[in-house]
Amino acid sequence: MSASRKAASLTEAILLATVARRFYVQGRSKLEIADEFGVSRFKVARMLDTAMESGLVRVEFSLPAPVDLVLSDEVRSAYGLERALVLERSTEREPKEVVRAKIGSLAARLLEEIAAPSDVIGLSWARSVNAMAEAVRSLPRCPIVQLCGVQAGMDMRGRSVETVSRVTSVSGGDAYPIFGPLVLPDRRTTETLRRQPGIAETFGQFRHLTKAVVSIGAWQPGESTVYDALDEAERAAIAARGATAEVAARLFDASGNALSTGLAHHVLAISHEELMAVPEVIALGYSRPKAAAVDAVLRSGMVSTLITDAAAAVPLLALAAKNPPR
């Protein structure tokens, strides 16, 4: 009796596997399979379901990059994005610099695929954007525009000017750098520098941008270029105004609203309005400490593509479930 049941089970398994092979591998329709095996197409549908539920058939995705397909789709759907690329969960155990390199590699691969000769591409400074610049291998001939000034104290290899130079060397297009500091002492100095011919030419390109690659910073130590460039009193004052996130030296509150502070008048950077007007913005924001900041920026409606990791994606989904984005 036991042997008979095992034989029947094996026979059934072979039948289910054969039907599944016809459907998934050979591309036959359910009606064609039904005609071949002398059953109804509804029976075929049930057999396919059984094959899947029993584990006889498993669906696997072999993506050309280390992306968690489920988390990517959930984040994209939760925030209404065009794309979301979430690194595999295994990266949660890796050092931050390794994760950064993988984020940069994903961004480089995406930019290589979607950039067109008609594009004008903007780049903000960030370690992750710098990692992207190191990984880019081919781009169409298009202009590359620096979105904000240079952070004081950075070595030349990591500065935004050098990032723009590296990407321009790949594209062969025109470079529009900003040879000036990110944060300036006062409004008068900022306005004077903005009128300098080279800087004014770059600022004039902002209205022509079609794509931008930016990094999302959190308003906390070590998580924002601008935060680290200010003194403690300025940081605290801006935090008291509700600053949660920073992109290209522009601030956002937790709801994704542009935050107006005195900082806007002494940074060399693209404006909120110009940033929001860019048709396609690829934002790089990763690690658990930045989850709230990434959530805030996504709520602004500025981002079309997010590249992140599972460490940020999981709390992001919790934030979106608790307070669904508009």
Q: Please report which confidence band the pLDDT of residue 160 belongs to, taking 50, 70 and 90 as the band edges.
A: low
Two structure tokens written together for 122: 């903007």
pLDDT reading at 299 higher than 80: yes
pLDDT reading at 158 higher than 60: no
More confident residue, 155 or 228: 228
Q: Is residue 59 part of a domain?
A: no
pLDDT reading at 156 higher than 50: no
Q: 13 and 112 in one domain?
A: no
Q: Report the CATH number that the domain containing residue 143 is assigned in CATH.
A: 3.40.50.1360
- pLDDT at residue 62, rounded to an integer: 60
The strand pairing partners of 177, in sequence order, are: none
Question: Could you give the 3-state DSSP secondary structure of residue 326?
Answer: coil
The string of pLDDT tens digits covering residues 177-204 is 998 888 888 889 889 998 999 999 999 9
**Can you tell me the mean pLDDT for 156-172?**
78
Q: Which domain holds residue 293?
A: 67-320
- pLDDT at residue 82, rounded to an integer: 95
Q: Is residue 2 part of a domain?
A: no
Q: 247 and 285 in one domain?
A: yes
Residue type, 175: A
Long-range (24+ apart) CB contacts under 8 A made by 42-45 are 44/19
Separation of alpha carbons 149 and 123, rounded Å: 11
The strand pairing partners of 219, in sequence order, are: none
Residue 157, judged by CB atoms within 10 A of its CB (0-12, 13-18, 19+), counts as exposed
Q: 127 and 41 in one domain?
A: no
The string of pLDDT tens digits covering residues 26-67 is 999 999 999 999 999 999 999 999 988 888 888 766 666 788
Please give the tally of structural domains in the chain. 2
Q: Is residue 178 part of a domain?
A: yes
pLDDT reading at 253 higher than 60: yes
3-class SS shares of the chain: helix, strand, coil, % to 5: 55, 15, 35
Q: 73 and 33 in one domain?
A: no
Q: Is residue 110 part of a domain?
A: yes
pLDDT reading at 109 higher than 80: yes
- pLDDT at residue 12, rounded to an integer: 85
The string of pLDDT tens digits covering residues 65-100 is 788 989 999 999 999 999 999 998 876 778 889 999
Contact assessment for residue 248 and residue 269, using Cβ atoms and an 8 Å cutoff: yes
Q: 12 and 121 in one domain?
A: no
**Can you tell me the mean pLDDT for 135-163?**
77
